[in-house]
Amino acid sequence: MRLGRRDDREGLFSGNKPHRAIIDIGSNTVRLVVYGGAPRAPGILLNEKVQARLGRDIGRDGKLAKDAMHLALDGLARYRLLLHDLGIERIDVVATAAVRDASNGPAFLKKVRALGFAPRLLSGEDEAIASAFGVIGAFPRAHGLVADLGGGSLELVPVSAEAPGDAESLPMGTLRLPELGGGDRGTLKGTLKKALRRSQAAMPDNGNLYLVGGTWRAMAVYAMERAGTVLTDPHGLTLTGEEALSLTRKLARSAPARLHEMPRISTMRSQMLPDAAVLLQVLVKRFQPRRLIVSAWGLREGLLYSQLEPHVQARDPLISGVSNFAIQRGAPPALATRVAGWTVEAAPPLRKGDERLRMAATMLSLAAMQIEPNLRIAQGIEWALQKRWLAIDDEGRAMLAAAICGNGNALDLPAELKRLAPAEALEEALCWGLATRLCRRLGARSMRSLEASRLSVEDGKLVLRLERDRAALYATPTEKDLNLLAGRLDLKPAMEVVDRLPD
Protein backbone atom coordinates (compact mmCIF):
# COMPACT_ATOMS: atom_id res chain seq x y z
CA MET A 1 0.00 0.00 0.00
CA ARG A 2 1.10 3.57 -0.57
CA LEU A 3 2.49 5.70 2.22
CA GLY A 4 -0.18 8.17 3.27
CA ARG A 5 0.83 11.82 2.69
CA ARG A 6 -2.00 13.45 4.56
CA ASP A 7 -0.74 15.94 7.14
CA ASP A 8 -1.99 15.87 10.70
CA ARG A 9 -3.87 19.10 10.07
CA GLU A 10 -6.15 18.70 13.07
CA GLY A 11 -3.23 18.21 15.45
CA LEU A 12 -4.44 14.76 16.43
CA PHE A 13 -0.95 13.50 17.26
CA SER A 14 0.86 16.63 18.52
CA GLY A 15 2.12 17.52 15.08
CA ASN A 16 3.40 14.04 14.26
CA LYS A 17 2.22 12.62 10.98
CA PRO A 18 0.80 9.10 11.23
CA HIS A 19 2.93 7.35 8.61
CA ARG A 20 1.81 3.76 8.82
CA ALA A 21 0.09 1.11 10.90
CA ILE A 22 0.71 -2.51 11.79
CA ILE A 23 -1.97 -4.94 12.93
CA ASP A 24 -0.51 -7.93 14.72
CA ILE A 25 -2.91 -10.87 15.01
CA GLY A 26 -1.25 -12.81 17.80
CA SER A 27 -2.17 -15.74 19.99
CA ASN A 28 -3.05 -13.55 22.98
CA THR A 29 -4.00 -10.20 21.50
CA VAL A 30 -4.96 -8.53 18.26
CA ARG A 31 -3.11 -5.24 18.35
CA LEU A 32 -3.17 -2.08 16.24
CA VAL A 33 -0.17 0.25 16.41
CA VAL A 34 0.02 3.52 14.46
CA TYR A 35 3.53 4.92 13.97
CA GLY A 36 4.86 8.37 13.17
CA GLY A 37 8.00 10.40 13.70
CA ALA A 38 11.49 9.54 12.49
CA PRO A 39 11.60 6.34 10.41
CA ARG A 40 14.73 5.15 12.24
CA ALA A 41 13.11 5.66 15.65
CA PRO A 42 9.35 5.66 15.01
CA GLY A 43 7.07 6.88 17.75
CA ILE A 44 3.86 5.14 18.73
CA LEU A 45 0.93 7.45 18.12
CA LEU A 46 -1.83 4.95 18.83
CA ASN A 47 -1.66 1.54 20.49
CA GLU A 48 -4.83 -0.48 20.97
CA LYS A 49 -5.43 -4.16 21.59
CA VAL A 50 -8.19 -6.70 21.85
CA GLN A 51 -7.44 -9.54 24.24
CA ALA A 52 -9.02 -12.20 22.04
CA ARG A 53 -6.76 -15.10 23.13
CA LEU A 54 -7.10 -16.76 19.75
CA GLY A 55 -4.61 -19.47 20.66
CA ARG A 56 -6.12 -20.63 23.95
CA ASP A 57 -7.62 -23.87 22.58
CA ILE A 58 -4.93 -24.79 20.02
CA GLY A 59 -3.27 -27.30 22.32
CA ARG A 60 -6.58 -29.02 23.09
CA ASP A 61 -8.44 -29.22 19.79
CA GLY A 62 -6.20 -27.47 17.25
CA LYS A 63 -8.75 -24.75 16.48
CA LEU A 64 -9.34 -21.07 17.05
CA ALA A 65 -12.29 -20.75 19.44
CA LYS A 66 -15.44 -19.26 17.91
CA ASP A 67 -15.89 -16.59 20.56
CA ALA A 68 -12.20 -15.64 20.25
CA MET A 69 -12.61 -15.22 16.49
CA HIS A 70 -15.69 -13.04 17.01
CA LEU A 71 -13.77 -10.82 19.44
CA ALA A 72 -10.85 -10.55 17.04
CA LEU A 73 -13.03 -9.73 14.04
CA ASP A 74 -15.00 -7.11 15.97
CA GLY A 75 -11.72 -5.48 16.92
CA LEU A 76 -10.44 -5.62 13.34
CA ALA A 77 -13.64 -4.00 12.06
CA ARG A 78 -13.06 -1.13 14.48
CA TYR A 79 -9.43 -0.84 13.37
CA ARG A 80 -10.52 -0.64 9.75
CA LEU A 81 -12.71 2.36 10.51
CA LEU A 82 -10.06 4.07 12.62
CA LEU A 83 -7.44 3.72 9.91
CA HIS A 84 -9.82 4.98 7.24
CA ASP A 85 -10.82 8.03 9.28
CA LEU A 86 -7.22 8.84 10.11
CA GLY A 87 -6.25 8.63 6.45
CA ILE A 88 -3.57 5.98 6.99
CA GLU A 89 -3.00 4.05 3.81
CA ARG A 90 0.11 2.00 4.52
CA ILE A 91 -1.07 -0.88 6.67
CA ASP A 92 0.66 -4.19 7.36
CA VAL A 93 -1.49 -6.98 8.79
CA VAL A 94 0.35 -10.05 10.04
CA ALA A 95 -0.86 -13.22 11.75
CA THR A 96 1.37 -15.47 13.81
CA ALA A 97 1.39 -18.80 15.68
CA ALA A 98 -2.28 -19.28 16.61
CA VAL A 99 -3.60 -18.69 13.10
CA ARG A 100 -0.63 -20.57 11.63
CA ASP A 101 -1.28 -23.69 13.70
CA ALA A 102 -5.10 -23.75 13.77
CA SER A 103 -7.01 -25.98 11.39
CA ASN A 104 -9.55 -23.19 10.92
CA GLY A 105 -6.86 -20.54 10.49
CA PRO A 106 -7.45 -20.22 6.71
CA ALA A 107 -11.17 -19.68 7.26
CA PHE A 108 -10.43 -16.99 9.82
CA LEU A 109 -8.07 -15.20 7.45
CA LYS A 110 -10.75 -15.28 4.77
CA LYS A 111 -13.01 -13.31 7.13
CA VAL A 112 -10.18 -10.86 7.80
CA ARG A 113 -9.82 -10.29 4.06
CA ALA A 114 -13.56 -9.67 3.82
CA LEU A 115 -13.05 -6.67 6.13
CA GLY A 116 -10.76 -5.13 3.51
CA PHE A 117 -7.38 -6.16 4.93
CA ALA A 118 -4.61 -8.08 3.22
CA PRO A 119 -3.27 -10.28 6.04
CA ARG A 120 0.07 -12.04 5.73
CA LEU A 121 0.52 -15.32 7.57
CA LEU A 122 4.04 -15.41 8.97
CA SER A 123 5.91 -18.67 9.24
CA GLY A 124 7.74 -19.39 12.48
CA GLU A 125 10.97 -18.40 10.77
CA ASP A 126 9.43 -15.17 9.42
CA GLU A 127 8.25 -14.29 12.91
CA ALA A 128 11.66 -14.97 14.45
CA ILE A 129 13.54 -12.99 11.80
CA ALA A 130 11.21 -9.99 12.21
CA SER A 131 11.76 -10.03 15.98
CA ALA A 132 15.52 -10.27 15.45
CA PHE A 133 15.43 -7.19 13.22
CA GLY A 134 13.50 -5.42 15.98
CA VAL A 135 16.32 -6.15 18.41
CA ILE A 136 18.96 -5.07 15.89
CA GLY A 137 17.06 -1.83 15.33
CA ALA A 138 16.83 -1.09 19.05
CA PHE A 139 20.34 -2.25 19.97
CA PRO A 140 22.82 -1.51 17.17
CA ARG A 141 25.56 -4.13 17.10
CA ALA A 142 23.37 -6.55 19.06
CA HIS A 143 25.19 -9.84 19.63
CA GLY A 144 23.56 -12.92 21.07
CA LEU A 145 20.30 -14.83 20.92
CA VAL A 146 16.79 -13.37 20.61
CA ALA A 147 14.05 -15.16 22.57
CA ASP A 148 10.63 -13.85 21.47
CA LEU A 149 7.92 -15.26 23.73
CA GLY A 150 4.40 -14.99 22.38
CA GLY A 151 1.17 -16.68 23.26
CA GLY A 152 1.59 -19.61 20.88
CA SER A 153 5.31 -20.01 20.37
CA LEU A 154 8.85 -19.17 21.42
CA GLU A 155 11.07 -17.94 18.61
CA LEU A 156 14.83 -18.28 18.93
CA VAL A 157 17.23 -16.65 16.51
CA PRO A 158 20.90 -15.62 16.86
CA VAL A 159 21.95 -12.09 15.95
CA SER A 160 25.46 -10.94 15.16
CA ALA A 161 27.11 -8.44 12.84
CA GLU A 162 23.74 -6.68 12.48
CA ALA A 163 22.09 -9.68 10.83
CA PRO A 164 19.91 -12.55 12.07
CA GLY A 165 20.99 -16.17 11.76
CA ASP A 166 18.96 -19.35 11.34
CA ALA A 167 15.66 -19.12 13.20
CA GLU A 168 13.70 -21.71 15.14
CA SER A 169 10.11 -21.64 16.36
CA LEU A 170 9.11 -23.83 19.31
CA PRO A 171 5.55 -24.52 20.61
CA MET A 172 6.31 -23.00 24.01
CA GLY A 173 4.13 -19.88 24.06
CA THR A 174 2.58 -18.60 27.27
CA LEU A 175 -0.80 -20.15 26.43
CA ARG A 176 0.83 -23.56 26.00
CA LEU A 177 3.09 -23.62 29.05
CA PRO A 178 0.34 -24.68 31.51
CA GLU A 179 -0.48 -27.73 29.37
CA LEU A 180 3.19 -28.65 29.05
CA GLY A 181 3.47 -28.76 32.83
CA GLY A 182 0.09 -30.23 33.60
CA GLY A 183 -0.26 -27.81 36.50
CA ASP A 184 3.10 -28.78 38.05
CA ARG A 185 6.07 -26.48 37.57
CA GLY A 186 8.60 -29.23 38.26
CA THR A 187 7.11 -31.21 35.40
CA LEU A 188 7.09 -28.07 33.26
CA LYS A 189 10.80 -27.50 33.88
CA GLY A 190 11.64 -31.08 32.92
CA THR A 191 9.56 -30.89 29.74
CA LEU A 192 11.17 -27.61 28.71
CA LYS A 193 14.67 -28.91 29.38
CA LYS A 194 14.09 -31.91 27.12
CA ALA A 195 12.64 -29.75 24.36
CA LEU A 196 15.50 -27.26 24.48
CA ARG A 197 18.11 -30.02 24.42
CA ARG A 198 16.68 -30.99 21.03
CA SER A 199 16.75 -27.37 19.86
CA GLN A 200 19.31 -26.41 17.23
CA ALA A 201 19.51 -22.83 18.55
CA ALA A 202 22.95 -21.72 19.71
CA MET A 203 24.25 -18.74 21.60
CA PRO A 204 27.07 -16.85 19.84
CA ASP A 205 30.28 -16.65 21.89
CA ASN A 206 29.99 -14.19 24.76
CA GLY A 207 26.48 -13.31 23.61
CA ASN A 208 23.50 -11.73 25.33
CA LEU A 209 19.99 -13.14 25.61
CA TYR A 210 17.54 -10.54 24.23
CA LEU A 211 14.05 -10.97 25.66
CA VAL A 212 11.17 -9.90 23.40
CA GLY A 213 7.47 -10.07 24.26
CA GLY A 214 4.93 -8.65 26.67
CA THR A 215 5.40 -11.33 29.31
CA TRP A 216 9.15 -10.73 29.48
CA ARG A 217 8.46 -6.99 29.81
CA ALA A 218 6.05 -7.67 32.66
CA MET A 219 8.79 -9.71 34.31
CA ALA A 220 11.13 -6.75 33.91
CA VAL A 221 8.55 -4.46 35.53
CA TYR A 222 8.35 -6.89 38.44
CA ALA A 223 12.14 -6.80 38.80
CA MET A 224 12.22 -3.00 38.67
CA GLU A 225 9.44 -2.66 41.24
CA ARG A 226 11.19 -5.03 43.63
CA ALA A 227 14.50 -3.22 43.21
CA GLY A 228 12.92 0.23 43.60
CA THR A 229 14.67 1.52 40.51
CA VAL A 230 14.56 5.16 39.44
CA LEU A 231 13.62 4.23 35.87
CA THR A 232 10.21 2.94 34.82
CA ASP A 233 10.60 1.77 31.21
CA PRO A 234 11.47 -1.95 31.05
CA HIS A 235 13.13 -1.50 27.65
CA GLY A 236 16.84 -1.99 28.06
CA LEU A 237 16.69 -3.53 31.53
CA THR A 238 19.85 -5.60 31.89
CA LEU A 239 20.40 -8.54 34.26
CA THR A 240 23.23 -10.95 34.87
CA GLY A 241 22.49 -14.65 34.68
CA GLU A 242 22.58 -14.94 38.48
CA GLU A 243 20.23 -11.98 38.89
CA ALA A 244 17.83 -13.55 36.40
CA LEU A 245 17.87 -16.93 38.16
CA SER A 246 17.23 -15.32 41.53
CA LEU A 247 14.35 -13.34 40.04
CA THR A 248 12.77 -16.33 38.31
CA ARG A 249 13.00 -18.55 41.41
CA LYS A 250 10.99 -15.95 43.29
CA LEU A 251 8.49 -15.51 40.46
CA ALA A 252 7.95 -19.23 39.91
CA ARG A 253 6.75 -19.51 43.53
CA SER A 254 4.51 -16.42 43.37
CA ALA A 255 0.73 -16.52 43.35
CA PRO A 256 -0.80 -14.69 40.37
CA ALA A 257 -3.09 -12.73 42.70
CA ARG A 258 -0.07 -11.28 44.53
CA LEU A 259 1.61 -10.39 41.24
CA HIS A 260 -1.50 -8.58 40.07
CA GLU A 261 -1.26 -6.34 43.12
CA MET A 262 1.59 -4.55 41.37
CA PRO A 263 -0.10 -1.68 39.49
CA ARG A 264 1.73 -2.24 36.19
CA ILE A 265 1.13 -5.99 35.90
CA SER A 266 -2.17 -6.96 34.28
CA THR A 267 -4.36 -9.89 35.23
CA MET A 268 -3.35 -11.74 32.06
CA ARG A 269 0.39 -11.25 32.63
CA SER A 270 0.16 -12.16 36.31
CA GLN A 271 -1.33 -15.53 35.33
CA MET A 272 1.49 -16.16 32.85
CA LEU A 273 4.51 -14.95 34.81
CA PRO A 274 5.17 -18.00 37.05
CA ASP A 275 5.32 -20.44 34.12
CA ALA A 276 7.32 -17.94 32.04
CA ALA A 277 9.77 -17.68 34.93
CA VAL A 278 10.35 -21.43 34.74
CA LEU A 279 10.97 -21.11 31.00
CA LEU A 280 13.50 -18.33 31.56
CA GLN A 281 15.33 -20.45 34.14
CA VAL A 282 15.72 -23.19 31.56
CA LEU A 283 16.83 -20.72 28.86
CA VAL A 284 19.49 -19.17 31.11
CA LYS A 285 20.92 -22.54 32.11
CA ARG A 286 20.79 -23.85 28.56
CA PHE A 287 22.42 -20.86 26.82
CA GLN A 288 24.55 -19.27 29.59
CA PRO A 289 24.21 -15.69 28.35
CA ARG A 290 26.65 -12.96 29.31
CA ARG A 291 23.69 -10.71 30.13
CA LEU A 292 19.93 -10.69 29.67
CA ILE A 293 18.52 -7.58 27.99
CA VAL A 294 14.80 -6.77 27.70
CA SER A 295 13.70 -5.30 24.37
CA ALA A 296 10.44 -3.45 23.82
CA TRP A 297 11.18 -3.66 20.11
CA GLY A 298 10.15 -6.91 18.52
CA LEU A 299 8.17 -8.21 15.59
CA ARG A 300 6.30 -5.04 14.66
CA GLU A 301 9.30 -2.74 14.91
CA GLY A 302 11.40 -5.35 13.13
CA LEU A 303 9.01 -5.22 10.18
CA LEU A 304 9.47 -1.45 10.05
CA TYR A 305 13.24 -1.57 10.43
CA SER A 306 13.78 -4.32 7.86
CA GLN A 307 11.98 -2.25 5.20
CA LEU A 308 14.21 0.82 5.63
CA GLU A 309 16.93 1.68 3.17
CA PRO A 310 20.42 0.74 4.44
CA HIS A 311 21.47 4.37 4.85
CA VAL A 312 18.43 4.96 7.09
CA GLN A 313 19.12 1.82 9.10
CA ALA A 314 22.63 3.14 9.71
CA ARG A 315 21.38 6.29 11.46
CA ASP A 316 21.79 6.60 15.21
CA PRO A 317 18.39 5.73 16.74
CA LEU A 318 19.01 7.91 19.80
CA ILE A 319 19.73 11.01 17.74
CA SER A 320 16.85 10.23 15.36
CA GLY A 321 14.36 9.86 18.20
CA VAL A 322 15.51 12.89 20.19
CA SER A 323 15.63 15.03 17.02
CA ASN A 324 12.02 14.33 16.15
CA PHE A 325 10.95 14.89 19.76
CA ALA A 326 12.83 18.19 20.02
CA ILE A 327 11.49 19.50 16.70
CA GLN A 328 7.97 19.26 18.10
CA ARG A 329 9.11 21.36 21.07
CA GLY A 330 10.79 24.26 19.31
CA ALA A 331 14.36 22.95 19.21
CA PRO A 332 15.24 22.01 15.61
CA PRO A 333 18.33 19.84 15.14
CA ALA A 334 20.05 22.50 13.00
CA LEU A 335 19.97 24.92 15.94
CA ALA A 336 21.14 22.26 18.39
CA THR A 337 24.01 21.37 16.07
CA ARG A 338 25.15 25.02 15.97
CA VAL A 339 24.91 25.30 19.76
CA ALA A 340 26.80 22.04 20.25
CA GLY A 341 29.49 23.26 17.87
CA TRP A 342 29.77 26.60 19.69
CA THR A 343 30.25 24.87 23.08
CA VAL A 344 32.42 21.92 22.10
CA GLU A 345 35.83 23.40 22.82
CA ALA A 346 34.84 24.48 26.32
CA ALA A 347 32.81 21.40 27.21
CA PRO A 348 33.92 18.56 24.95
CA PRO A 349 32.91 14.95 25.50
CA LEU A 350 35.71 13.37 27.50
CA ARG A 351 35.07 9.77 26.52
CA LYS A 352 34.71 8.15 23.14
CA GLY A 353 31.05 7.74 22.26
CA ASP A 354 29.82 10.63 24.39
CA GLU A 355 29.55 12.92 21.35
CA ARG A 356 26.10 11.52 20.60
CA LEU A 357 25.01 11.96 24.21
CA ARG A 358 26.15 15.60 24.16
CA MET A 359 24.15 16.22 20.99
CA ALA A 360 21.05 14.58 22.45
CA ALA A 361 21.52 16.53 25.70
CA THR A 362 21.77 19.80 23.77
CA MET A 363 18.52 19.12 21.91
CA LEU A 364 16.62 18.18 25.08
CA SER A 365 18.06 21.16 26.98
CA LEU A 366 16.89 23.59 24.30
CA ALA A 367 13.48 21.89 24.13
CA ALA A 368 13.03 22.16 27.89
CA MET A 369 13.49 25.94 27.69
CA GLN A 370 10.29 26.21 25.66
CA ILE A 371 8.08 25.30 28.63
CA GLU A 372 7.25 27.24 31.79
CA PRO A 373 10.17 28.00 34.14
CA ASN A 374 8.56 26.19 37.06
CA LEU A 375 8.24 23.01 34.98
CA ARG A 376 11.27 22.89 32.72
CA ILE A 377 13.81 21.21 35.04
CA ALA A 378 11.45 18.56 36.37
CA GLN A 379 9.96 17.96 32.93
CA GLY A 380 13.37 17.76 31.29
CA ILE A 381 14.59 15.22 33.84
CA GLU A 382 11.44 13.20 33.22
CA TRP A 383 12.13 13.22 29.48
CA ALA A 384 15.70 12.09 30.02
CA LEU A 385 14.98 9.30 32.48
CA GLN A 386 11.57 7.93 31.56
CA LYS A 387 10.94 8.42 27.84
CA ARG A 388 11.68 5.41 25.65
CA TRP A 389 14.94 6.39 23.97
CA LEU A 390 16.87 3.78 22.02
CA ALA A 391 20.54 2.85 22.23
CA ILE A 392 21.20 4.49 25.59
CA ASP A 393 22.00 2.98 28.98
CA ASP A 394 21.12 4.14 32.51
CA GLU A 395 24.30 6.20 32.83
CA GLY A 396 23.58 7.92 29.53
CA ARG A 397 20.07 8.83 30.68
CA ALA A 398 21.48 10.32 33.87
CA MET A 399 23.95 12.38 31.83
CA LEU A 400 21.12 13.77 29.69
CA ALA A 401 19.30 14.78 32.87
CA ALA A 402 22.44 16.35 34.37
CA ALA A 403 22.96 18.45 31.24
CA ILE A 404 19.36 19.67 31.45
CA CYS A 405 19.99 20.62 35.08
CA GLY A 406 23.14 22.52 34.12
CA ASN A 407 21.28 24.37 31.39
CA GLY A 408 18.76 25.47 34.02
CA ASN A 409 21.46 26.36 36.60
CA ALA A 410 20.20 23.60 38.92
CA LEU A 411 23.62 22.46 40.09
CA ASP A 412 22.54 20.40 43.09
CA LEU A 413 21.74 17.26 41.12
CA PRO A 414 18.87 15.00 42.26
CA ALA A 415 19.91 11.94 44.24
CA GLU A 416 18.43 9.57 41.65
CA LEU A 417 20.96 10.71 39.06
CA LYS A 418 23.80 9.86 41.43
CA ARG A 419 22.41 6.33 41.69
CA LEU A 420 22.60 5.90 37.92
CA ALA A 421 25.97 7.39 36.97
CA PRO A 422 29.39 8.07 38.52
CA ALA A 423 30.23 11.57 39.71
CA GLU A 424 32.72 12.27 36.91
CA ALA A 425 30.15 11.46 34.21
CA LEU A 426 27.55 13.70 35.83
CA GLU A 427 30.06 16.54 36.18
CA GLU A 428 30.96 16.25 32.49
CA ALA A 429 27.29 16.45 31.49
CA LEU A 430 26.62 19.29 33.92
CA CYS A 431 29.29 21.31 32.10
CA TRP A 432 27.63 20.53 28.77
CA GLY A 433 24.48 22.10 30.18
CA LEU A 434 26.28 25.15 31.58
CA ALA A 435 27.93 25.74 28.20
CA THR A 436 24.55 25.48 26.48
CA ARG A 437 23.16 27.96 29.01
CA LEU A 438 25.91 30.48 28.24
CA CYS A 439 25.39 30.09 24.50
CA ARG A 440 21.62 30.51 24.45
CA ARG A 441 21.58 33.38 26.98
CA LEU A 442 24.32 35.29 25.16
CA GLY A 443 22.24 35.94 22.07
CA ALA A 444 18.84 34.32 22.59
CA ARG A 445 19.75 31.52 20.15
CA SER A 446 20.16 33.96 17.25
CA MET A 447 22.31 32.95 14.31
CA ARG A 448 24.13 36.29 14.37
CA SER A 449 25.20 35.86 18.00
CA LEU A 450 26.62 32.43 17.21
CA GLU A 451 28.56 33.81 14.26
CA ALA A 452 29.89 36.84 16.16
CA SER A 453 31.13 35.01 19.26
CA ARG A 454 33.56 32.25 20.04
CA LEU A 455 34.25 30.21 23.19
CA SER A 456 37.65 28.57 23.67
CA VAL A 457 40.09 27.27 26.26
CA GLU A 458 43.54 28.87 26.16
CA ASP A 459 46.38 28.81 28.70
CA GLY A 460 44.20 27.94 31.68
CA LYS A 461 41.49 30.43 30.73
CA LEU A 462 37.98 30.11 29.36
CA VAL A 463 37.88 32.86 26.76
CA LEU A 464 34.71 34.37 25.30
CA ARG A 465 35.42 36.51 22.25
CA LEU A 466 32.84 38.85 20.75
CA GLU A 467 32.96 40.93 17.59
CA ARG A 468 32.84 44.62 18.38
CA ASP A 469 29.34 45.25 17.04
CA ARG A 470 28.02 42.54 19.39
CA ALA A 471 30.08 43.44 22.47
CA ALA A 472 27.01 44.76 24.29
CA LEU A 473 25.67 41.18 24.43
CA TYR A 474 28.12 40.63 27.26
CA ALA A 475 26.32 41.91 30.35
CA THR A 476 25.87 40.90 33.96
CA PRO A 477 23.82 37.70 33.32
CA THR A 478 26.27 36.51 30.67
CA GLU A 479 29.24 37.35 32.87
CA LYS A 480 27.76 35.20 35.63
CA ASP A 481 27.25 32.30 33.23
CA LEU A 482 30.82 32.53 31.95
CA ASN A 483 32.21 32.66 35.50
CA LEU A 484 30.10 29.70 36.57
CA LEU A 485 31.21 27.50 33.69
CA ALA A 486 34.83 28.51 34.08
CA GLY A 487 34.72 27.67 37.77
CA ARG A 488 33.37 24.16 37.11
CA LEU A 489 36.14 23.64 34.55
CA ASP A 490 38.79 24.97 36.94
CA LEU A 491 39.66 27.76 34.51
CA LYS A 492 39.84 31.55 34.77
CA PRO A 493 37.12 33.45 32.85
CA ALA A 494 38.11 36.05 30.26
CA MET A 495 36.24 38.14 27.71
CA GLU A 496 37.82 39.83 24.68
CA VAL A 497 36.37 42.15 22.06
CA VAL A 498 37.75 41.77 18.52
CA ASP A 499 37.05 43.54 15.27
CA ARG A 500 36.31 40.29 13.47
CA LEU A 501 36.50 36.62 14.30
CA PRO A 502 38.32 34.35 11.84
CA ASP A 503 36.09 32.25 9.62
Q: What is the DSSP letter of 140?
A: T
pLDDT digits (tens, 9 = 90+) for 42-83: 999 999 999 999 999 998 899 999 999 999 999 999 999 999
Mean pLDDT over the full length of the chain: 95
5 confidence band (pLDDT: 50, 70, 90): very low
Q: Do 210 and 264 touch, CB atoms closer than 8 A?
A: no
Q: Do 346 and 456 touch, CB atoms closer than 8 A?
A: yes
pLDDT digits (tens, 9 = 90+) for 381-436: 999 999 999 999 999 999 999 999 999 999 999 999 999 999 999 999 999 999 99
pLDDT digits (tens, 9 = 90+) for 464-495: 999 999 999 999 999 999 999 999 999 999 99
Assess whether pLDDT exceeds 90 at residue 103: yes
Indicate if the alpha-carbon torsion angle 394, 399, 400, 402 is positive or negative.
positive
Using DSSP's 3-state secondary structure scheme, residue 456 falls into: strand
Buried residues in 399-438 as b, exposed as e (16+ CB within 10 A): bbbbbbbbbbebeebbeebeebbeeebbbbbbbbbbbbbb
Q: What is the pLDDT of residue 350?
A: 86
Using DSSP's 3-state secondary structure scheme, residue 12 falls into: coil
Please state, in angstroms and rounded to a whole number, the distance separating the CA atoms of residues 287 and 271. Answer: 26
Strand partners, 495: 464
Angle among Cα 334, 378, 434 to the nearest 5 degrees reads: 50
Q: What is the pLDDT of residue 59?
A: 86
